[in-house]
Amino acid sequence: MDPWGYVAMKRYLQVVLPVVATVALLASFGVASAATTNYVALGDSYSAGVGTNSYDLNAACNRSSKAYAPIVAAAKGYALNFQACSGATTVDVINKQVAALSSATNLVTVTAGGNDLGFTNLLVTCTLTNCTSAINNTITTANTTLAAKLDAMDTQIRTRAPNATVIVLGYPHLFTKTCLGALGISSAEVTAANAMADAIDNVTRTEATKYGFTYKSAIAQFTNHGVCASSAWLNGLKLSPVGDSYHPTTAGYSSGYAPLVRQVTG
């Protein structure tokens, strides 16, 4: 006798509860999978981590675990595909890096354009000769040719990663003042170099905005942290390795660039 249906209910629970538990478990895996952020870091030396003198991820491209992309990815648990490479131009980003993008890409960061203009190489030569005129010519070049190059790159990024949040990062003012770290750089050249950063900043912002990308200028972030500042986040002239010259220090990536990305990603 089972007037209250206890036996039937027991059998029902024995069958249903494992099924419910299995469905819940599968659902939890589904949520975890959906929450994974696929992050592709594109760009040049300012994205690769040049300036840290610690190229533990890829020596050929001078990729460093101290660059902003690995810092952000590690803190947030993102799946990082690190493509940025020292010396990369906008054409290099198109030809060698954007293939890593897809419709599954959630987040993209990029710095590019400086190498199209010979940005840092120009400043190294400034230590040997007056280059104010050369910098002013570069500003003209930035204002007349850089937009088309960035446009071609941004088109590829948006086409290949249609669902991604894209953060375009700019370059800082390199100099706070003159000092031994700015050996051979005059006050006039400091002014011109910072004006060059402004020109690149303006062009890059305009192009990024056209594609609905988020542009994060580095100029305000690095204020009072340029070469010769008491708390410098940028290397001055370095003889070994010379390629680290006028690039962010480890603090420049962790305290300068990484927070700019986090302002967007949370």
Cα–Cα distance for residue pair 50/201, rounded to 1 Å: 20
Q: Which of the residues 28, 45, 102, 103 is marked catalytic?
A: 45
H/E element holding 39? strand 38-41
Are the C-beta atoms of residues 235 and 176 closer than 8 Å to each other? no
Cα–Cα distance for residue pair 49/83, rounded to 1 Å: 12
Q: Assess whether 225 carries a catalytic annotation.
A: no
Q: Which of the residues 47, 225, 245, 247 is marked catalytic?
A: 247
Cα–Cα distance for residue pair 163/39, rounded to 1 Å: 12
Q: Which of 36, 47, 95 is nearest to 71 (CA)?
A: 47
Query: What is the SS3 assignment for 211?
Result: coil
Token pair 């819940």: residue: 24
Q: Assess whether 231 carries a catalytic annotation.
A: no
Cβ neighbour number for residue 180 with a 10 Å cutoff: 9
Are the C-beta atoms of residues 200 and 171 closer than 8 Å to each other? yes
Cite the active site residues: 45, 247
